[in-house]
Copies of this chain bind each other. A is one copy, B any other.
């Protein structure tokens, strides 16, 4: 196992370089003084280059090939074989892209970001369209270098959700959409919920204290992680023992920090939960962005917006903000935090309408990539889909097709993972409750240990051993499906809205 062991050491070194890059990224968003931006950008480029060169170098290839021979007689289910499968996948993808193309995309997206910021500020799609065309061209090249069997979009999707095919995503989405649109329509016909109690005056220090109490209770380990303030909430990790989340506080919108903190904690519990014996190996990683999102959504929505959760914790919340919520009943608060309303901005959408925003983007991306729609026609097509899915039409591009940063980063294929994770969260939760009958009762008592243990064992500790579809199959005994999610939404929201 000489080559195998040397390969693991080399990959661990690359991992340390990437962790250093992640620390630099965390620092940039949380603490870096303004003046450091230029130098920091160069540091990212240098560390990225060194890491990439180490990974695609001949030494890695030699060790990987040698290791594959050493491990060839072992079971394909052995840790060594699963490790090499994951490394081979990464390696083959990395070497397929010409360095010049990677560099061109790096430059193009840096410029595109500036263009997008200006276009969005001026709500003017025309400014952004030529840039987007160029990025689509580059992405088509990427897809062609990666290769694909069925659709070009497969090759891009695979970067974020390994092994998943466009047709599979479409199937899951198509199963879900009619039921979702129906539920949205039924809710729209019901009396609206008043969420103004969530817009009262909530002292940020109190918000922070309450959030910390909740995520400690959920199992976030502050000995192996921390929470900071940043403009954009995110979770980052420098190994299983140093996982950090960020939060932003809005004095007059309670869910911003509170539900955001629980969401990021869902991500963090995944990262803190990898198997210690996988430390410093390629297995100590998430299997996909979709699985990552399934963890954040599960904790944020299925747990954190449940009636059982607030039955236990609403009194504590009221105590945290003396006088602020005295006149708001538990039932009113529960409904407020679950208000459903078609809206324009994806990141502000509730859990019913959210997947529709994603489906729209999925349709647009496929069409743009296949050139069945021209970039110039995106605003019109966007608005038409908004009417179809959500029954509303944005009045300008800033709150329409210019709202997201992703396209300026050429991240085509990324959006589906948000909805896949959301859908998967319900499928996993349903299975968890069947596997361990104590979970439902524990959650009613505000205890999260049994749920976390189940997730640890079934989702976190496997790490990157299995492709996402394999892991769903192993855990749930079935392929990814949206019935569980639709069932969850209908049960919950028909009750919330009394329909």
Contact residues of A with B, CB < 8 Å?
12-13, 16-17, 19-21, 23-24, 27, 31-36, 38-40, 42-43, 46-47, 49-50, 221-226, 228, 238-239, 241-242, 279-280
A-B contacts, 10 listed (Cβ < 8 Å): A12-B42, A16-B42, A20-B21, A31-B228, A32-B242, A33-B225, A35-B223, A36-B239, A38-B241, A39-B238
Give every chain B residue within 8 A of A19 (Cβ-Cβ).
39, 43
Given contacts A50-B50, A226-B31, contact A241 B39 (CB under 8 A): yes
Indicate the member of A13, A43, A226 with the most B CB atoms within 10 Å: A43
Q: A17-B47, A20-B47, A23-B23 are in contact. Are A35 and B226 (CB under 8 A)?
A: no
When distances are taken between beta carbons in the complex, the residues of chain B under 8 Å from A16 are 42-43, 46-47
Q: Collect the chain B residues with CB atoms within 8 Å of residue A13's CB.
A: 46, 49-50
A49: which B residues are within 8 A, CB to CB? 13
Q: When chains A and B are docked, how far (Å) is the Cα of A33 from the Cα of B238?
A: 11
Q: Which residues of B contact A224 (CB under 8 A)?
A: 33-36
* Given A46-B13, A239-B39, A242-B40; A223-B34 close (CB under 8 Å): yes
Q: How far is the CA of A16 from the CA of B39 in the complex (A)?
A: 8
Contact A17 B223 (CB under 8 A): no
Mostly, the A contact residues are helix
Which single residue of chain B is at the shortest CB-CB distance from A244? Answer: B33
Residues on the B chain within 8 Å of A32, using CB: 242
CB-CB < 8 A to A20: which residues of B? 20-21, 23-24, 43, 47
| CB contact under 8 A between A35 and B221, given known A23-B24, A50-B17, A50-B50 | yes
Q: Is the CB of B239 within 8 A of A33?
A: no
Residue among B17, B46, B222 making CB contact with A46, cutoff 8 Å? B17
- In angstroms, Cα B241 to Cα A13, docked, is 29
Chain copies in the assembled complex? 2
Instruction: Give chain B residues whose Cβ lies under 8 Å from the Cβ of A17.
Output: 46-47, 50
Contacts of A239 in B (CB 8 A): 36, 39
Smallest beta-carbon distance A10→chain B, Å: 10
A32, B244: Cα distance in complex, Å: 9
CA distance A27 to B25 in the complex (A): 12
For A38, give the chain B residue with the smallest CB separation: B241
The docked-state distance in angstroms from the alpha carbon of A228 to that of B30 is 13
For the complex, give the distance between the alpha carbons of A239 and B41 in Å.
12
Closest 8 CB pairs of A and B: A36-B242, A35-B224, A35-B241, A16-B46, A39-B239, A16-B43, A20-B20, A35-B223
Whole-angstrom distance between the Cβ of A298 and the nearest chain B Cβ: 24
A223 to B32, CA, bound (A): 9
A279 to B12, CA, bound (A): 32
How far apart are A95's CB and chain B's nearest CB, in angstroms?
A: 21
Residue from B39, B238, B242 in contact with A242 in the complex, judged by beta carbons closer than 8 Å:
B39
Q: Name the residue on B nearest A54 (C-beta).
A: B50
> Chain B residues with Cβ under 8 A from A47's Cβ?
16-17, 20
A19 CA / B20 CA spacing, docked (Å): 10
**Can you name the residue of chain B whose Cβ is closest to the Cβ of A242?**
B36
Q: Which residues does chain B contribute within 8 Å of A50, judged by CB atoms? A: 13, 17, 50
Would A238 and B46 be within 8 Å (CB), given that A20-B20, A27-B23, A27-B27 are in contact? no
**A221, closest chain B residue (CB):** B35
Query: A49 CA to B33 CA in the complex, in Å?
Result: 28
Further pairs besides A35-B221, A35-B241, A39-B241: 7, Cβ < 8 Å: A19-B39, A31-B226, A33-B222, A34-B224, A35-B242, A36-B238, A43-B238
Among residues of B, the one whose C-beta sits closest to the C-beta of A241 is: B35
Chain B residues with Cβ below 8 Å from A43 are: 16, 19-20, 238
Closest CB in chain B relative to A103 CB, distance in Å = 15
Contact partners of A46 in chain B: CB under 8 A: 12-13, 16-17
In whole angstroms, what is the CA distance A226 to B31 when docked?
A: 8
CA distance A20 to B238 in the complex (A): 14
Residues of B within 8 A of A35 (CB): 221, 223-225, 241-242
Q: Which residues of B contact A40 (CB under 8 A)?
A: 238, 242
Q: Give A208 Cβ to nearest chain B Cβ, in Å.
A: 16
Residues of B within 8 A of A241 (CB): 33, 35-36, 38-39
Min CB distance A228 to B, Å, is 8
Chain B residues with Cβ under 8 A from A12's Cβ?
A: 42, 46
Min C-beta distance of A98 to chain B, whole Å: 21
CA distance A242 to B35 in the complex (A): 6
A32 to chain B, nearest CB (A): 7
A21's nearest neighbour on chain B, judged by CB, is B20
